[in-house]
Amino acid sequence: MKTKPFFSGSQLKWLAIFAMLLDHIAKIISFQPATTALVPYLTEAPPLFPFTQVIFPMFTMIGRLAFPIFCFLLVEGVIHTANTKKYLLRLFLFALIAEIPYDLAFSHQFIDLKNQNVFFTLFIGLIVIIGLKKIQVQSLKSGILAVIIIGSGIFFAEWLQTDYGGWIGVLLIVSFYLFRDEHLIKCIAGALILLQNSLFGLIAFVPIYFYNGQRGKQWKYFFYWFYPVHLLVLYGIQEYLIMPYLN
């Protein structure tokens, strides 16, 4: 059957990565100390500060597009992967790799147990999907078991305080999986869940709806490595280029 000539999986990944990068630039790069008591002898804000005050909120808004797309691609990946265990292991490995860059970038600490990076959210979501896949019989018992599996995933994501947590992150992944064959319904269900976090992020469901079912050109490990590496780069820019400039 001829597919719609719209977005491939690879194109969706690039869109999500671009949106995520803008979001993280706005959240990690800051000229704020120049306008506080930390630098009392400066009477004027740095030249770039007014610009960032205008452009960074736009970056953050665009960044809301990233997470729904990553969740959608996770579900597509687990549906088509030949080895779910390797997929799960890869997510867990990069969750560990990304944690220190994540903590440095957002908490300025080497280890911060208060919040965990988004790979942990995806990892927990994938475990929930694996559990749901094992439920074959449509019965009251299997329905109760499914609720327990989903509830457990939400609980652990909230308890670990992963990025986007359980009520948004895990639930969004679950909705993409449960309605995987109903394109419009899964987009509507996902949009309702995402409303807890963002209004602009609902736009992400437009390219998701027009996904053409094709993987596109694969840059698998590039996409995995991009997350921790870009966090380290942005942290380095803030810590070693911008902060000395402010001081």
> What's the rounded mean pLDDT across residues 57-71?
96
Q: What angle do CA 230, 216, 5 make, to 5 degrees?
A: 120
Q: Give the pLDDT score at 1.
A: 41
219 — pLDDT class (breaks 50, 70, 90): confident
Rg (CA), the chain: 20
Annotate 32-94 with DSSP letters as a single string. Answer: GGGGSTTSTT--S--THHHHHHHHHHHHHHHHTTHHHHHHHHHHHHHHH-S-HHHHHHHHHHH
What does the pLDDT look like over 86-99, one tens digit per residue?
999 999 999 999 99
Q: Which of 27-41, 59-73, 76-90 has the lowest mean pLDDT?
A: 27-41
The answer to whether 84 touches 78, Cβ cutoff 8 Å, is: yes
247 — pLDDT class (breaks 50, 70, 90): low
Distance CA 27, CA 66 (A): 15
% of the chain with per-residue pLDDT over 70: 90
Q: Which of 4-8, 12-16, 39-43, 185-189 has the lowest mean pLDDT?
A: 39-43
Distance CA 150, CA 136 (A): 16
The model carries a pTM of 0.90
> What's the rounded mean pLDDT across residues 216-225?
84
